[in-house]
Structure formats: C-alpha cells, structure tokens
Structure 1
Amino acid sequence: MKGRGCWESASVRSFCSSGCLNKLKKDDSGDDDDETASPADKSELHCTIQSLSLKLDDLSTCNDLIAKHGAALQRSLSELDGLKIPYESSEKLKAVNERATLFRITSNAMINACRDFLELAETHSRKWQRALQYEQEQRIHLEETIEQLAKQHNSLERAFRSAPGRATNPTKSFSEGSLLTPKGEDSEEDEDTEYFDAMEDSTSFITVITEAKEDRKAEGGTTGPVDWTSSDNVLDGASLVPKGPPKVKRRVRIPDKPNYSLNLWSIMKNCIGRELSKIPMPVNFNEPLSMLQRLTEDLEYHHLLDKAVHCTSSVEQMCLVAAFSVSSYSTTVHRIAKPFNPMLGETFELDRLDDMGLRSLCEQVSHHPPSAAHYVFSKHGWSLWQEITISSKFRGKYLSIMPLGAIHLEFQASGNHYVWRKSTSTVHNIIVGKLWIDQTGDIEIVNHKTQDRCQLKFLPYSYFSKEVARKVTGVVSDSQGKAHYVLSGSWDEQMECAKIVQSSPSSPSSDGKQKTVYQTLPAKLLWKKYPLPENAENMYYFSELALTLNEHEEGVAPTDSRLRPDQRLMEKGHWDEANTEKQRLEEKQRLSRRRRLEACSRGCGTEEAEKEADVYMPLWFEKRLDPLTGETACMYKGGYWEAKERQDWHMCPNIF
C-alpha cells in the first residue's frame, strides 16, 4: 500500500506540472510576433535556448538509460517472483518491484516537466527581452530630452545676458552669490554631472559688481587686490595663512581602507523611521573616528577666528565668523561614512597650544539621545562652546541628520558673542546609486553684543539650477538692518565676501516677487579649502587634521576616544575583530545602565528610577541655563587640564 501511494503521488505531480505549464503557455501566448529584439539580444537568447536544449538532451539520454535499466530490473524481479520463496520474502519482493516502477514513472515525469519548462522559458524570454528593451529605450529617450532642455535653458540665459541694450561695462549683473568665477555663465553644463530634485526658492536679492572711480585709479589696470578701507585690510588673505611646520611631528597616513562589501539594505530595510543611533550598525559603515573627533574637526580652519580677533569692525568680524561656520562642512563632501557613536562618558581632547594655539575638550554627556558637549580655548583671544545633540532619521531613499543645539563663540577683547546653529545634512541614494551628501537650510548668526546678523542660505542641489553645486549665499547686516556685506561661495570649496556700496529694490517679477539689488565692490576671498592629502580616497577621505585625530598620545584620559579598542582595530583594518569588540562595548554600556537603574530603583519607583538612570552626570561639564537662548545646556566646569597635568584620572569611569 505504501508503494501504491507513492505511485499515485508521483502521477499527480506529473499531471500538475505538465498541465499547469501547458495552461501557462496558452494564457501567455498571442503577441509573440508583435515586436522583435535586436540581433545581439536574439543571438544571446538563441545561445541560452540552445544550452538549455543540450541539457534537456542529456536528461533524455539519462531517462532512456534509466528506462532500460529499470525494465531489466523489473524482468529480474519478475523472474524472482516465479521462484518458490517464503511468503515474507515474496512480500518484500513486491515492494521492491513497486518502487522500481515508481522510480521509472518519476523519471519520465521529470523529463516531461523539463521539456515543458524549456518551451515556457523560450516563450517568456522573448517577452521579457522586448519589455526590457522598451524600458531601456524609454529611459535613454527621457534622459536625452531632459539634458536637451537643460542645455536650451542655459542657452536662453546666455542669449538674454548678451542681448543688445543690456549693460556690459563697467557693471556686470548676475544672480546673487555668483561671485566665484564668471565661467558659470558662459560654460556648457558638464555632461557627466549628476542632477537631483528641483531647487527650492532662490535667494531674495541680486548682486551687481561695480568699480568705484578711486578704486580703478588705485588699481592702475592691474589685477591686484583692491583696498576698501584701512580697516578692511584684515580680510585680505584671510584663508591664505601658511601652515608652518609643527613642533611635534604628526602622522600623515593611516592604513588603507579594506575592500569589504556589505548590503546596506539588508540592515536598513527594517529600520525606516527609526533613530539611527538606535540601529545596531557594523563598523563596515563607519569611519575610524568618533563623533567627538568629528566635532573637533570643525576647528580645522581655526585661523579664521584668529584673524577675526584683530577686526575693529563687528560686521567684518561677522564675515570671518560666517566663513568659519561654513568651513566646518567642507570635510563632509566625500565623508559619507558614519562616525562611531561615543560611549557614555567618552572624552576626546585636542591639546595643540603649540601649533594651533588652542585646547579642545569633548565629552559624551548623553547616550539617548546622543549628545556631546564641547569647549575650546584659544590663546589668541577667543573661546567656543556647544552642546550638540544628533537627531537622525532614515527615510528609505535618504538619511537626514539634524544637529540640535546652539554654538557659542566669544571674543574676549571686544566681548562680541556670536550664536548660531548647524544646518541639516542629508545623505542621498541610500539604497540605489552613488551615495552623496548635501547641506540644506538657513543659518542665522547673531552677535548678541551689537545685534549684527548674518543670514546664510545653503541651497540644495538641483537639476534645473545654473548655479554651482553646494552653493551658499548670505548677507551681513547691522543692528538697524542695513546690509554691509554679501557672502557667496560653496560649502565644500571656498567663501567670498563683497562690500555693499548701494542697495535698491528691483522691479517686481512676473510672479509678483521683488528682490533687493545690492551694488558691491569686487569680492574678496575669505576661506579656501585645503587640498586633501595624497591617497586620501583610500584613507576615508580624511584631511590632514583628521589623520592626526586618532593618533596615539600619552597622558590622555582613560576615557579618550584614541583608546577605544573597536575604533583602533577598524583603523588597522581588522574589521571582524572590530565588530566583535564593538558588540562587547555596547553590551558593557547596557549593563552599566541596568546597574544604575537597579541602584535608583531601591530608593524610588520603577518609572522614576528609569528617569534617574538616564540622567547621567558628566564629569567635566555641568548643566546650566543659557541666558541667551533660554535653553539648558552642558558647559565646561573646569578641572580636566589640571587633572592631566597631575595625571590623576581616578575619577574617570571604566568604559572601555
């Protein structure tokens, strides 16, 4: 009975496979000859079908052999059945005979199913090939159409600028911020440029460059810099400060990044809408620096603030402060990797009084949400402090990173106190395509002593914009709202400023909007990005400063990021060991939180205990009310550098 059941099951499977395949062929036939594939596609399809046919022939040969040997086996079994053998052996012989028959029927069913599959594959392959070819042609046609429209748009713009009756000399008009080079007006679009979403509203003013008579006489036809006023000289060459040889020799390279591949979607598909800091991420998506070190890296162009100390005009100083705020984004253009989330209580010091003239200290003061406090003292006469909380969301196609918290900068001599906040960073093409990062949003810098203001606008990159990529524009105004300087540039390359000599409203546009026209003197360079080190593409695109941040130093606190083992292993290229170590550290951090929760629960309820466990008491910073912003933020309370001088670290927690 058992053998009979197997035979019936095999018969049903054979019927279903053959019948269903034939039905599919009937349902899907009918338009086979509507379109034809290209010769190359036909050749490839023919080779595939021919290969499948050869395999089917092999299966047929095997089937014939199986049938032949199966028949011989059944004859032998029949001969044995005719012999006088015990009843028990006779029953076993019948079972063997049924199994041999079943094997023969199954092999025939397999060959029939393979033949039907080949015919079905041949039918559907032609349809799939035609559908794919159609989609490819449509995509190419769409790309060509959009590219042609963009070129026509630029041609019309150039024709409009060069039309008769438009002013050419001595003034030159262009949209705000195009102070970098004139080539953007006359050059064709780069055919290899990648374009993205449509751009939001552009800036609300227009800049016109003019040459004052006294300035033209002073120039005498040369291309040298033009002195605006005696006090303006401090802005000349602000970004060209030579970097002298450091007293301590720093490293200039790290081990090359290993070629590890990992599917981001396999990790991120279940995390859409969640906080990035709560997603367990392997080190494959990291760079061997912590967020504390990335925060310290904002000081790379500290010389802008050193220069700003000597400004006698607060609006001039604001220009340099604005350039400094933009320069902190220049390291992000190629740096799409995620820095390590610092452990709670982790610190990072940058003791560079000798060559940079400053000391910097960061401490991770909260884990959820991740928050870091930062304090910088410069011997040149300024100090900077901030508490930055990183809020990040994965949205499927892109990742938004929103730094929350105010940045304070104070100049001791003048008492000028500047406050601003960071813009939003967006990482695009998370799932498909080449990753790229953009900075968007508005930044307002306020001098709380003089009430001077600078409005900076980070323009998102757009397919339809003729402007340079990663563009930043801005206006510096005094307490009365009078504009003094126009800023323009890009957050990944350079910033310039131009002094305003006259402003007037423009005629309303067709949509009813009115822009302010600023007449300015020629622009001056404020800041220019340093070139990347040689072989930077294999070293995570680190700058010269970034290469030194994780360099081992003696005498730092035991909580310093340089001593973090998983980060050090990753830098050396041992990523598997780094992932193991990262899991150990994260589990140790969770255990520490459970212990704090248990300690708190002894003296209060469970809900209150959870709140207490999350309130971590920083070691070097303390919560204070910020009188300027009205927010509570962590500010440096002192003691770190004195502890380093004594090498007394007994108060530091064991986090590694």
Structure 2
Amino acid sequence: MKGRGCWETASVRSFCSSGCLNKFKKDDSGDDEESSTSPADKSELQHTLKNLSLKLDDLSTCNDLIAKHGAALQRSLNELDSLKIPSESGEKLKVVNERATLFRITSNAMINACRDFLELAEIHSRKWQRALQYEQEQRVHLEETIEQLAKQHNSLERAFRSGPGWPANPSKSFSEGSFLTPKGEDSEEDEDTEYFDAMEDSTSFITVITETNEDRKDEGGNSTCGTVDWTTADNVLDGASLVPRGSYKVKRRARIPDKPNYSLNLWSIMKNCIGRELSRIPMPVNFNEPLSMLQRLTEDLEYHHLLDKAVHCSSSVEQMCLVAAFSVSSYSTTVHRIAKPFNPMLGETFELDRLEDMGLRSLCEQVSHHPPSAAHYAFSKHGWSLWQEITIASKFRGKYISIMPLGAIHLEFQASGNHYVWRKSTSTVHNIIVGKLWIDQSGDIEIVNHKTNDRCQVKFVPYSYFSKEAARKVTGVVSDSQGKAHYVLSGSWDEQMECSKIVQSSPSSPSSDGKQKTVYQTLPAKLLWRKYPLPENAENMYYFSELALTLNEPESGVAPTDSRLRPDQRLMEEGRWDQANTEKQRLEEKQRLSRRRRLEICAPGRSCGTEEAEKESDGYVPLWFEKRLDPLTRETAYVYKGGYWESKEKQDWHMCPNIF
C-alpha cells in the first residue's frame, strides 16, 4: 500500500514515546517492570503495527469510495437539472445542488490532502526506516560496549591487584595517613599542627593538635575542660583496643569449607526486582553467606571488650568515647562482606553462650517476617547489658541497594546506671550492574546518655570519587549536658577509631561561603579501637572474622529453632548449593503455609487484605520477647522477657515451634 512504510515507522515512534518512555519512568520511580523490551512488548508492537496497516487500508478504500460516490451524485444532479419540473421544486433542487457542490469541493480538498500526505510519506518512509534501524543498531552496539568495558574493568583490576607493590591489605592503604599521627605524648610530631574537616553544618569543626602536657602545665587553669590531667584521668582509654586474645577452654573452629566457584548472572535476577522490598523476593543461596541475619546481629558484639573497659570509667564522657567506638566497630565486618545473610524464619533463634571466654550471653529471635524484624538481648558478667529490635528496610534502585536498619539500640551499665541509646546508619551496596561490588556506610547517628544527657554526634562520611576525604571516614564530637565539647573522635569504620581530648575551643574566621567552623585545640590522639586482622584464607571463606567462623559451628544443647540447625544454611556452608537451594524453597513454602493457617483465624467480617490487618491478625507471638513501650524513645519494641537460659539448663524445649 502506498505510504505504508511511513505509517509503520510513525507507529514505532509513537509506541516508543508513549509506552517505552513511560516504562523507563516507572523504573526510576521504583516500579518492578523490566527496562528492556520483553517478548510480550514485542508481540504488542507487532499487533499495533498490524492494526495501523489495516486502518491505512480502510482509509485508502474510503478515499476511493468518496471519489466514486461523489462523481455519481454529481451526475445525478446534472440529470435532474435537464428535466422539466415545477418552479417550486426547482428552487429546492437548486439548494440541493449548491450543497452537493460544497460537499464536492470539501471532499476534493480532503482527497487532495490525503494524496499529498501519502506521497510525502512515501518519499520519506525509507529515510525514517533507515534512521530507526540505525538507532536499533546503535543500541545493540552500546550494550555490547558496556559489557566489554565491564570485562576489561574486571581484568584490569585483577592485573593491578596481582602486580608488584600492591599491599597485602589493600583497604589499609586507604586509611593510613588519614588520622592524627601521634599515638602518645612521646611522639616526635606532638608539636605539629594538623587541620582537617570532620563534620558539616552545625557540628562542623577543625582540630588543632597542641603541645604536650609538660609545656602546658602553667596553662592548665585556662583550659576550657578544667585542670584534670590527661595522663591520669584517661588511663582507662589507653590501650583500650589492645586486649590479649589468648586460648580458651573450649577450642573453636578456625576455618570452614572454601566457597565454591559458582557463576551466576546477577542482572538476570535483579532486573526484575527494581523498587521492590528485597525481603519479599525469593533469592538463591548464591547471593548469601552461610550465616543468618541473627548471627550477623550477634557479630556486633565482637569488640565487646570496649564495653568491658567502659565499665571502669569514672567519667561519663570518657565512657561515651568507648561506647562510640563500639558503635562504629560493628561496621568493620561489612567492608568485604557483600553477600547477604539468610533471612531468618519466623521464630528462628540464635544464642551465643560465651560466659567463659567472652564473659557474655546473647540471644536473638526473629519476631516478624514482613517486615523482617529481629529482637536481641545480651548481658555481660562484667556489668553491662545491651538490647535492640532491628527491622531491616531495603530497596534495590538499579545501580545500588540501600539497607536501612530501623530501631533503637540500648546499652546500660549496671554500676553507674548510664543508659545509652543510638541507631544504626544506612548501608549502601554499589556497582550492582557493572564493576566490582563495594559497600559504604553513610549518615549521622547520635548517641545519648539518658542519665547524664551527654551526647556524641557521629558522622559517617559517604565516599565520593570527587571528594578529597579519606575513604570510610568517621568523625564525631563528645559533649556533656551543657553542650561543652570534651573529645573529638576520628578514624574509619573499617580500621580504627581514635579520640583527642579538647583543651580549648574557639570560632574560626568565616570561610568564603560564609560558613563558620569551631576550632578545637586538642591533645595528641589516643587509640580507642583497632580492627582485628582477618584469618588466613579469609577471601575463600566469605571474609569471615574469627568470631564469624565460630557462629555457625554445631553446638549441643541449643534450642531446636537455633540458626545452627537450619538445613539450607548448613548445606550451603558445606558447599552443596544445589541441595541448599532446594531446601531453602521447602522451608519458605513451609513458612508460607504456616502463615496462611494463622490468617485463617481472622475475625469474621474483618478484612485481612492489607498488610496492617494481616500483621494484626497473624496470631504469632514470640517465645522469648514481648512488646513493651520504651519510656525513652516512646516507641513500642520487643524486649527480652526471660526464660530461655532456664529452659536450656533444663533442656525443656517443648514450647518451640517446628520451623525447620
């Protein structure tokens, strides 16, 4: 048909502008549709082109009919003019003839316009077809180029890492030199001055390292922090992280089977997950590590010795420094741990009974499945207890995954009654599609001592290719109830944290942008915490720390709901991933069946269609934790109600559900 190529080309442009463009917009807004053309989209495109061709045929047929019937009508009117008829009828015939003439003129104009359009379309149709084909070829070429660049990037990275001069611990090279150099008063650089930006907005400051104590004896009375001697008052902070790690009565394992080399196309699975809650997406174990989220939560206690030291602090602001270092230390295990932990089954528990070597006991329980939420309680024989309920909210946005832990962490020291509360920062996994995966922490957290009202503002500085800041940088300021700053914190969340005592503070001169920072004059920095080195061959054992290697070690006497007894997780640790995937699907279907049974008890006449209604009518009640109103945060959270360790002593687990 004349000009059909034009109409087909125009239909393609129309379809892409209306359908494809809207699809890309939905992807950006969090919809879980695919960004590439699916078989269904291609079928719809062919169907649309076929309909447009049929309509073009109809238009051409109507064109011919209008011309044919218009000519016949004109001939009939001419024949009527030649007949002898009464004058009255002649007037009416004249009016009809005039209207027919107007119709003929209009029809001829429309026919001429259609003919001109079809001729013009025919002339340009090949040009448009060539342009469309060129764009399609360019798109395919671009996809191939991106894939090739990704391969070259990985190849160059491997070649660079295997080349001479690459340090054994690459992450360390990023942090060296980014902290205050002096570690004690005998350093040769005690009198050097170092400036660095640490915080933004209202908490922005600059630190200046001042002279040693000997040079400041006469100026002690002028210090804004009083006359307390740095060397005697802060002896608890000295060597806080240098805790001997000797042998214990119970021999713990030091390795697990090496991770198998299974290849998997990440994008083929993740492209269908854009904008969706990750906890609702069934994922193969290939993306996991052989630990559950409950065990990962327990890993926060790896540097518990910081809290054991904090028990002996006589000053609440000194204690705050150690608490802040402890809060940062929990992120040190995440720098290489890109794989996600197993989502716990509802009612799953994990205990850490390490009174002999670590001096503490810990219990976690999965109290909700949608949204995934875990309650945690730990107490130490050294005089502190910690509890939290963490709900994981996560979103996949195409290039990165954001993981937002929701909930407050409570820490209480029995002797002093100091009660600290803080929240976790946001974790982001980058380079989901192209390049090597890497994780970053960002955001501000505030640690509050609700007894003394001391506060610590901690900032996790997000990494940027265009920033001059050190990677994984963390800064902070410890202030008392009056708002007076006592300590400056600096370091990185994957290596170490230091504190510097403030001896004087003053405002700086305004910068070019009009902002003014506080200048803190400090004594040399003291080391608070340093990360333990990873075990040998850690890269083949999911980059587990020494503590992480022991968490899934089989142990007798635990509850039947303990994560160590989860079959799919055990199969994955042993390297049998195919069986682990089969077992994981069985457990998830068993959990869905249990949930449907609980929802069947929904009250008559009450809708269970919404998530809120389902949650209320779920009917599940945790065994070891109960909901209470937190008087400090004014939030409802699950708190340990007791009974677990008594049941373990009696080995009475009759109340535990069969979840595995």
Superposition TM-score, scaled by structure 2 size:
0.69
Taking a change above 3 Å as real, the CA distance of residues 358 and 160 of structure 1, as seen in their structure-2 partners, is closer
Q: Residue deviations 1:590-613, cap 9 Å, x none? A: 000011112335999999973444
Is 2:495 the partner of 1:493? yes
CA deviation map 1:512-554 (0-9, x unaligned): 0000000000000000000000000000000000000000000
Alpha-carbon contact 1:195-1:463 (below 8 Å) kept: no
Q: For residues 651 and 512 of structure 1, do their structure 2 counterparts lie closer, same or farther at Cα, with a shift above 3 Å needed?
A: same
Give the direction of change, closer, same or farther, for the CA distance of 1:381–1:190 in structure 2 (3 Å limit). closer
The CA deviation string for residues 228-279 of structure 1, in whole angstroms up to 9 with x for no partner, is 1422100000000111211100000000000011111111112111111001
What is the rounded CA distance, in whole Å, between the counterparts of 2:290 and 2:538 in structure 1?
14
1:429 aligns with 431
Distance, in Å, in 1 between the alignment partners of 2:589 and 2:34 is 63
**Take 1:428 and 1:244, find their aligned partners in 2: how far apart are those partners?**
38
1:299-318 CA deviation, whole Å, 9 max, x = no partner? 00000000000000000000
Deviates more, 1:473-482 or 1:109-118: 109-118
- The 1:291/1:173 distance shift into structure 2, 3 A limit, reads closer
**Is 2:441–2:472's contact at 8 Å kept on the other side of the alignment?**
yes
Gap runs ≥5 in structure 1: none
Q: CA deviation at 1:51?
A: 43
Deviates more, 1:385-394 or 1:159-168: 159-168
Structure 1 residues 61 and 392: CA distance shift in structure 2, 3 A: closer
Report which stretch shifted further, 352-361 or 94-103. 94-103
| In structure 2, C-alpha distance between the alignment counterparts of 1:193 and 1:135, rounded to whole Å | 59
C-alpha distance in 1 between matches for 2:185 and 2:159? 10
Q: Would the alpha carbon gap of residues 98 and 591 (structure 1) be closer, same or farther in structure 2, given more than 3 Å must change?
A: farther
Residue 179 of structure 1, CA deviation: 3.3
Distance 1:505 1:645, change over 3 A: same
| More deviation, 44-53/466-475 | 44-53
Q: Could you tell me how far apart the structure 2 residues matched to 1:26 and 1:153 are? A: 30
- The Cα shift of 1:464 comes to 2.7
Q: 1:217 to 1:50 in 2, by over 3 A?
A: farther
1:197–1:462 contact (8 Å) kept in structure 2: no
Per-residue deviation at 1:463?
2.0
1:299-346 deviations in Å (ceiling 9; x for gaps): 000000000000000000000000000000000000000000000000
CA spacing shift, 1:105–1:331, aligned 2, 3 Å: farther
- Report if aligned partners of 2:2, 2:118 keep a CA contact under 8 Å in 1: no
Comparing 586-595 with 606-615, greater Cα deviation is found at 606-615
Distance 1:170 1:34 in 2: 37
Between 422-431 and 595-604, the greater mean CA deviation after superposition:
595-604
Q: Which runs of 5+ in 2 are unaligned?
A: none
Question: Quick check: 104-113 or 610-619, which moved more?
Answer: 104-113
CA separation of 1:479/1:151 partners in 2, compared to 1, >3 Å: closer, same or farther? farther
Tell me the distance in 2 between the aligned counterparts of 1:196 and 1:140.
Answer: 48
Q: Is the alpha carbon distance of 1:23 and 1:149 closer, same or farther for their aligned partners in structure 2, counting shifts above 3 Å?
A: closer
Aligned residue number for residue 513 of structure 2: 511
Moved more, 267-276 or 636-645: 267-276
Moved more, 57-66 or 181-190: 57-66
Q: Please state whether the residue corresponding to 1:555 is helix, strand or coil.
A: coil
Deviations 1:536-584 (A, max 9, x none): 0000000000000000000000000000000000000000000000000
Aligned pair in 2 of structure 1 residues 287, 76: CA closer, same or farther (>3 Å)? farther
- 1:622–1:634 contact (8 Å) kept in structure 2: yes
CA contact (8 A) 2:472 2:494 kept: yes
Q: Is the 8 A contact 2:15 2:45 kept in 1?
A: no
- Cα–Cα, structure 1 residues 474 and 618, in superposed 2: closer, same or farther, change >3 Å? same
* CA 3–382 in structure 1, closer or farther in 2 if over 3 Å, else same: closer
8 A contact 2:598–2:620 mirrored in 1:
no
Matches of 1:431 and 1:485 in 2, distance apart?
42
Q: Which moved more, 1:166-175 or 1:292-301?
A: 166-175
Range that drifts further, 63-72 or 201-210: 63-72
Q: How large is the RMSD of aligned CA atoms in angstroms?
A: 15.6
The 1:107/1:267 distance shift into structure 2, 3 A limit, reads farther
**What secondary structure, in the 3-state scheme, does the structure 2 residue paired with 1:376 have?**
strand
- CA shift at 1:127, angstroms? 19
Which residue of the partner structure matches residue 637 of structure 1?
Answer: 641
C-alpha contact (below 8 Å) 2:608/2:617 kept by paired residues: no
Q: Secondary structure at the match of 1:225?
A: coil
CA distance in 2, matches of 1:25, 1:306: 53
Q: Deviations over 1:594-649 (max 9, x none)?
A: 11112335999999973444352100000000000000000000000000000000
Summarize the Cα distance change of 1:13–1:620 in structure 2 as closer, same or farther, 3 Å threshold.
Answer: closer
C-alpha deviation, 1:22, in angstroms: 36
- Count of matched residue positions in the alignment of Structure 1 and Structure 2: 656
Distance across 1 between alignment mates of 2:32 and 2:578: 52
Distance verdict in 2 for CA 1:261–1:182, change over 3 Å: farther
Q: CA deviation at 1:149?
A: 24
d(CA) in 1 for partners of 2:451, 2:259: 47
**Shift in alpha-carbon separation, 1:423–1:73, aligned structure 2, 3 A:** same
User: Would the aligned equivalents of 2:6 and 2:128 in 1 still touch at CA under 8 Å?
Assistant: no
Contact 1:350 1:360 in 2 (8 A): yes
Could you tell me whether the CA contact under 8 Å between 1:196 and 1:462 is conserved in 2? no
Bigger CA drift: 56-65 or 77-86? 77-86
Contact 2:3–2:118 under 8 Å retained in 1: no
Corresponding residue for residue 580 of structure 2: 578
SS of 1:373's partner is: strand
1:186 and 1:220 mapped to 2: Cα distance? Answer: 20
Q: Evaluate the alpha carbon distance shift between residue 130 and residue 95 of structure 1 in structure 2; reply closer, same or farther with a 3 A threshold.
A: same
SS of equivalent residue, structure 2 residue 336: coil
After TM superposition, the structure 1 = structure 2 runs for residues 72-151 of structure 1, keeping only pairs within 5 Å, are: none
Q: Deviations over 1:50-89 (max 9, x none)?
A: 9999999999999999999999999999999999999999
Partners of 2:3 and 2:391 lie apart in 1 by: 71
1:609 paired to 2:613 = yes
Assess, with a 3 A threshold, how the Cα gap between structure 1 residues 457 and 6 changes in structure 2: closer, same or farther: closer
What do the CA deviations read for 1:284-307 (whole angstroms, capped 9, x no partner)?
000000000000000000000000
